[in-house]
């Protein structure tokens, strides 16, 4: 019997918590994330002999840390590296929801996309070709209506296949302009020298190019606390310290 940690991400009001409750029932603990006034909910379930801990990340529209919620969600996916991340999308508003899904795909390969609220979508005549979306995104896509239990079995089956390595998603890599791609290629070897391959280097390169000060600060903090093992190669542009 093995134990897996699964993160649950999604926009607000996508039925993320409904899915969380559906899967974990009453086996839940709630509290706050350390040092933050952001609700932390964790629950457990077992499936086919394996046990799972499900972490309900705060509902966010993005993961670029404009708020404490987004920071918590981003840090969990990047630094705690769950065995899989389930992204819950609202079937009635895929355009906006896809934003978060694409951001998660840049952070980790271990992703399952759940298109939830299918019952609502059908009512207003929305049809969704999940196979086409799955082939475009390169990760499993499951249509569901969590409040009726629709799609839950398929989700559990897919999750089992994903964590046991029976399927290995190859998420779409979002291509940026030539200029940005060149800078990414330039940065990646330096990032790999510093922190190795244990974190998504392309994603970190993008944050650096974005000038995301708070993330750079966080990397430094993790480094000074010894939580990250940096290789002893000096970063070229660093003169101080």
Partner 1 sequence: MVADSKGAFPLCDAQIGDSVRITQLCIEGAMRLRLLDLGFIPGAIIKVLQKSPLGDPMAFRVSQTTIALRKEESSQILVEKLGDE
Token pair 């603990």 in the structure block, residue: 29
User: 104 has which bridge partners?
Assistant: none
Tokens representing 152 are 């839950």
Query: Which CB, 61 or 223, lies closer to partner 1?
Result: 61
Residue range at the interface with partner 1 (CB under 8 A); choices 56-64, 76-84, 155-163, 232-240: 56-64
Which residue do the tokens 């390969």 mark? Answer: 109
Candidate segments 58-66, 104-112, 199-207, 227-235, binder of partner 1 by CB under 8 A: 58-66
SS3 percent helix, strand, coil of the chain, rounded to 5, is 45, 20, 35
Please provide the DSSP assignment of 186-218 as one string.
HHHHHHHHHHTTSS-HHHHHHHHHHT-HHHHHH
Q: Considering only residues 6 through 35, tell me which ones interact with partner 1, judged by CB under 8 A.
A: 13
Site string for partner 1, 72-101 (x = CB under 8 A): ------------------x-xx-xx--x--
CB closer to partner 1 out of 13 and 231: 13
* Contact assessment for residue 108 and residue 201, using Cβ atoms and an 8 Å cutoff: no
Helix (H) or strand (E) holding 87: strand 84-90
**Residue number with CB closer to partner 1 (47 or 61):** 61
Which residues from 140-169 bind partner 1, rule CB under 8 A?
none
Nearer of residues 44 and 93 to partner 1, judged by Cβ = 93
Total of chain residues touching partner 1, rule CB under 8 A:
11
Nearer to partner 1, 23 or 101 (CB): 101
φ, ψ (nearest 5 deg) of residue 65? 55, 55
Q: State both tokens at 85.
A: 């991340």
CB of 19 to partner 1, least distance (A): 19
Q: Which residues bind partner 1 (CB under 8 A)?
A: 13, 61-62, 64, 66, 90, 92-93, 95-96, 99
């Amino acid at each position: 019997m093995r134990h897996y940690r699964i993160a649950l991400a999604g926009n607000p009001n996508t039925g993320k918590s409904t899915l969380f409750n559906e899967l974990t029932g009453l086996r839940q603990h709630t509290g706050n994330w350390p040092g933050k006034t952001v609700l932390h909910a964790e629950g457990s379930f077992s499936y086919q002999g394996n046990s799972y801990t499900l972490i309900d990340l705060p509902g966010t529209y993005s993961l670029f840390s404009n708020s404490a919620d987004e920071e918590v969600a981003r840090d969990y996916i990047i630094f705690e590296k769950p065995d899989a991340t389930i992204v819950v999308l609202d079937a009635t508003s895929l355009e906006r929801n896809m934003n978060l899904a694409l951001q998660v795909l840049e952070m980790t390969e271990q992703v399952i996309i759940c298109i939830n609220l299918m019952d609502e979508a059908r009512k207003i005549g929305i049809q969704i070709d999940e196979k086409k979306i799955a082939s475009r995104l390169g990760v499993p896509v499951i249509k569901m209506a969590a409040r009726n239990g629709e799609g839950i079995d398929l989700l559990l089956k897919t999750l089992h296949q994903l964590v046991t390595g029976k399927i290995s998603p190859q998420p779409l890599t979002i291509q940026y302009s030539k200029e940005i791609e060149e800078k990414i290629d330039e940065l990646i070897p330096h990032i790999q020298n510093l922190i190795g391959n244990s974190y998504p280097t392309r994603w970190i390169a993008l944050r650096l190019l974005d000038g995301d000060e708070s993330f750079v600060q966080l990397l430094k903090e993790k480094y000074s606390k010894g939580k990250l093992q940096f290789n002893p190669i000096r970063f070229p542009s660093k003169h101080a310290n």
